[in-house]
């Protein structure tokens, strides 16, 4: 699963994308599987992913996750896509 997260830490909103590496980091830290995200994503989950995605995008952020969370003004998922999207089935319409 790939997420586009819009996060504002007081300098205006920035859109960042998660990737497989960030998902694996999340799994390691929280001892959960990516499939658990289908049951719902918590605020800390999103903050962690946004923090890692911003670091990968070379955006300057506080080193400690808690310090990053304290600065967040807004945080939202703006797009979700599956890692293996399905293709549309052909139709009989002529």
What is the domain partition of the chain in residue ranges? 2-81
The CA distance from 52 to 56, in Å, is 6
Locus of tokens 């070379």: 58
The CA distance from 56 to 39, in Å, is 26
In this predicted structure, the answer to whether residue 37 has a pLDDT above a threshold of 60 is: yes
Q: How many residues does the chain have?
A: 94
Lowest-confidence range among 16-20, 36-40, 54-58, 68-72? 36-40
Q: What is the rounded average pLDDT of the residues 22-48?
A: 92
Q: What is the rounded average pLDDT of the residues 6-21?
A: 95
Model confidence pLDDT, tens digit, residues 62-83 = 999 999 999 999 999 997 765 5
């Amino acid at each position: 699963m790939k997420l586009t997260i819009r996060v504002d830490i007081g300098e205006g909103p920035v859109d960042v994308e998660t990737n497989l590496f960030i998902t694996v980091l999340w799994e390691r830290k929280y001892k959960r599987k990516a499939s658990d995200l289908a049951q719902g994503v918590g605020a800390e989950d999103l903050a962690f992913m946004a923090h890692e995605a911003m670091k990968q995008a070379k955006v300057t952020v506080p080193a400690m996750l808690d310090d990053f969370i304290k600065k967040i003004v807004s945080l939202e998922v703006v797009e979700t896509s599956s890692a293996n999207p399905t293709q549309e089935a052909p139709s009989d319409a002529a």
